[in-house]
A and B are shown apart, each in its own frame.
Chain A
């Protein structure tokens, strides 16, 4: 944790500088008759962020913050495994949205999580993986008129049937 805290502070300091650089593409000072420039607000706030990372590093050096006193790992083997399984599942879910549509990706993610990670029965898994995407479809597309990503063209026939029902 101790090493992780100072690395995080360093990354955030670099991020603050990055934000200052981007903000400085617009005027950052006071322009007579026009007020503060468009970049002033984010630039000076990023500057404050940079200063606070200095304080965080100072506190780390003096071991006054709890993470700076801890010698334990940021994530242990269980933590990394959980992060890989859940984070990887989410990543796969979002990648699949553009391929098999929001509803298709939702069904695949639910099968992955409920059956593989949760070890629930196939019956429960399939009920959830089929019923939820349909419920979401009718709520968002039917009631709220919000169109979710429909994926690649091969999902077209399925959508034709579904739109036939709601319109």
Chain B
């Protein structure tokens, strides 16, 4: 009951005129920053941090949290309408959101994304309110083997349930992981895979460069080629009745993804150094794994939009938890928020809930209010996004190319990456011709750094013994996750053997 009283006070604080205005401005700004390829919540929060010194600390963090929320909603918009992930957290939304938009069902994808984001945010807020200290301690008990096992599970879902050519899927995952290793070896600090000594490779290959290349340039070339230039404009439609029907369909077909994203996203979000991007990708993988027809994922399934969108919103709230309770940021954005709090004279950590109770509960209250307004503002803007899709393709296509080039540059501010993005786009266009699935490469380049680091730390812990991942006595969490991942990886082989015995084996490649 005490918690409810404190939450009530916090919500009352959040709806004070100044804070409410900041929430509305923050959510709207965040929506557009998130929708702009190459920019994410981290850019918005970092750039607008100095402005917050004009208002009290409580209002300042409410403003920044609102930007964070808005950006999580906004990332889906360009993923769905343009096929370019607005932010890394919306990469997985592209996998099914774009096919839905291409089939004239952009409104279903956008409404599903908005509702799933709202539900994900709401679930996360409830978990945050009720179990903050407990969850923070559970998250801290996750060591490198557990986190690596989770990463392995995400990759395994693509191999076991992708429905694509298995060797090509494995190739795609591995190339994404190798690209993620370009730059510096983070453990020894040695330059690695700096091809032909080109300095641009020293800062690594940003996942957005690959994602924009694959989904912006490659996808557009593919569409132009496969439609023989006959597309003049998308037949995307929008009406009030349509929104209601899309809401029903989105929730009916996406409820499982929403539930998975809401809980898994939150938990991955609270893991230190994980955040919303791995959370959304892993939720997509798990939603695909438990779906009745996993082969429909990647071709325009609402569950494939709901899972990552619920997860990235949930994770964005989750990543605030270790920041507030332990002083450990769960994502780059919360690292900047943490810096802001220190500048405002607040000390994040276990004492914050006691010493700055009004501040903490004001912030938690603002999560609820921001989440609500983000849904309302997002739904209000959906007709505008649909209108964009109804533009003639000969106008939409150059806009997407321009956004891709600008987004590719904005991600790292290096022309080297713009060239790299063009190369990835052309490479993706041809690889897709030969049925190479490209989503696993994007997944791998995002999760690669965490996967490598946790694998190396785990092997260091076990003195090189790989059985640390299946040590049920000492690692009761990592072991079942690893075993499920191994079963999933071997699933195509089991299916092949079964089909051979029945004499029905036809396509061992897939």
Contacts and interface: CB of A to CB of B under 8 A. Distances in A.
Contacts, number: 188
A59 to B, nearest CB: 4
Given A26-B192, A35-B187, A90 B217 contact: yes
Contact of B229 (A22, A82, A87): A82
Interface string B147-175: 00000000000000000011110110011
A94 interface: yes
A82 B509 contact: no
A54 B174 CA distance: 15
A67 B435 contact: yes
Given A49-B174, A82-B224, A145-B47, A42 B395 contact: no
B398 A114 contact: yes
B430 interface: yes
Nearest to B448: A41
Interface residues of A, number: 69
A59 B394 contact: no
Interface in B183-220: 185, 187-188, 190, 192-193, 195, 217, 220
Contacts of B415: 94, 97-98, 149
A106 B229 contact: no
B413 A52 contact: no
Interface string B404-431: 0110011001010011001001100111
A140 interface: yes
Interface in A102-153: 102, 106, 109-110, 113-114, 117-120, 124, 128, 132, 136, 139-140, 143-149
Contact of B193 (A22, A86, A144, A146): A22
A4 B432 CA distance: 12
Contacts of A132: 399, 402
A148 B418 CA distance: 12
Interface stretch (B56-64, B348-356, B451-459): B451-459
Given A4-B434, A52-B168, A109-B398, A75 B225 contact: yes
Contacts of A124: 395
A66 interface: yes
Interface in B32-46: 33, 36, 39, 43
B459 A8 contact: no
A83 B395 CA distance: 17
Chain B interface, DSSP helix/strand/loop, else mixed: helix
Contacts of B8: none
Nearest to B461: A35
Contact of A38 (B185, B224, B435, B507): B185
A45 B185 contact: no
A78 B221 contact: no
B181 interface: yes
A136 to B, nearest CB: 6
B357 to A, nearest CB: 35
A160 B437 CA distance: 47
Nearest to A112: B398
Contacts of B410: 140, 144, 146, 148
Nearest to B426: A87
Given A22-B195, A87-B426, A66 B435 contact: yes
Nearest to B177: A45
Contacts of B401: 86, 89-90, 93, 109, 113
B178 interface: yes
Interface residues on chain B, size class: 35 or more
Contacts of A49: 171, 174-175, 178
A64 B507 CA distance: 6
A23 B509 contact: no
B221 A65 contact: no
A52 B174 contact: yes
Nearest to A83: B221
A73 B281 CA distance: 35
Contact of A41 (B39, B181, B217, B422): B181
A55 B509 CA distance: 8
Nearest to A129: B398
A93 B229 contact: no
B222 to A, nearest CB: 10
A41 B455 contact: yes
Contact of B434 (A23, A45, A67): A67
Interface string A74-98: 1100110011001101110110011
A83 B226 CA distance: 12
A19 B418 contact: no
Contacts of A67: 433-435
A7 to B, nearest CB: 10
Interface string A28-67: 0010001110110110011011001101100100001111
Given A66-B435, A82-B225, A98-B415, A113 B455 contact: no
A12 interface: yes
Contact of B174 (A38, A48, A93, A148): A48
Nearest to A117: B394
Given A59-B509, A67-B434, A94-B418, 14 more contacts: A23-B192, A35-B456, A49-B171, A52-B171, A65-B507, A74-B430, A78-B228, A82-B229, A83-B221, A98-B415, A109-B398, A109-B402, A110-B398, A144-B43
Interface of B: 33, 36, 39, 43, 47, 165-168, 170-171, 174-175, 177-178, 181, 185, 187-188, 190, 192-193, 195, 217, 220-221, 224-225, 228-229, 392, 394-395, 397-399, 401-402, 405-406, 409-410, 413, 415, 418-419, 422, 425-426, 429-431, 433-435, 452, 455-457, 459-460, 464, 506-510
28 contacts: A1-B434, A5-B434, A8-B430, A19-B193, A36-B460, A38-B185, A38-B187, A42-B177, A48-B170, A52-B170, A55-B167, A65-B165, A65-B435, A65-B507, A65-B510, A67-B434, A82-B221, A83-B429, A90-B217, A94-B418, A97-B405, A119-B394, A132-B402, A140-B410, A144-B33, A144-B39, A144-B47, A146-B43
